[in-house]
Amino acid sequence: MSLSGKRVAILLENMYEDQEFWYPYYRLKGAGAQVVIVAPKAGTAYTSKHGYEAKSNVAAADVKGSDFDGVVIPGGYSPDLMRRVPAMVNLVRDAHDAGKIIGSICHAAWMLCSADVLKGRTITCFFSIKDDVKHAGAEYVDQEVVIDRNLITSRSPADLPAYCEAIVAALEK
């Protein structure tokens, strides 16, 4: 229970990648963190790419990134939907500005682009959006996990074990 007392937001929208949502959700809960599912609307079911539902706890407009010790952003197609909701983008920007741990895997880097937090940073992501992160001011590298200050990024579900270990270790500090 190394994360007892830590509060972590996991962002949610339709078309999320199942593994990139559920693996961190259970890994963080298992480490003792209070995991809060944040979405555009509270108490709403959102469907994954493969048809599985997850229900949000709170609306993004009702919380700030600084309310949490960390924010985890799953990939899939959901980040493209998330970044259309100003409150979701503002939550990520607020968490970044407060120095909170931000985990981004696969296509979740789109949220980092929209939150305008990538200038001068080194990250990884799914290879097909590397041009997007470069245009947002980041250096792209093809590695399993990249840690640049408070940003922890990975490429795909295959990287989940190392990604989650890096997030837990950062939150333990």
DSSP letter for 116, please: T
Catalytic-role residue among 96, 107, 125, 164: 107
For every residue of 71-91, DSSP letters joined together read EEE--BTHHHHHTTSHHHHHH
Question: Distance (Å, rounded) from C-alpha 60 to C-alpha 87?
Answer: 5
Q: Is 164 a catalytic residue?
A: no
For every residue of 13-65, DSSP letters joined together read -TTB-HHHHHHHHHHHHHTT-EEEEEESSTT-EEEBTTS-EEE-SEEGGG--G
- Coil vs helix vs strand at 162: helix
Q: Is 107 a catalytic residue?
A: yes
**Is the distance from CB of 82 to CB of 115 less than 8 angstroms?**
no
CB count within 10 Å of CB 164 equals 24
Catalytic-role residue among 106, 113, 125, 164: 106
Question: Among all residues, which ones are annotated catalytic?
Answer: 106-107
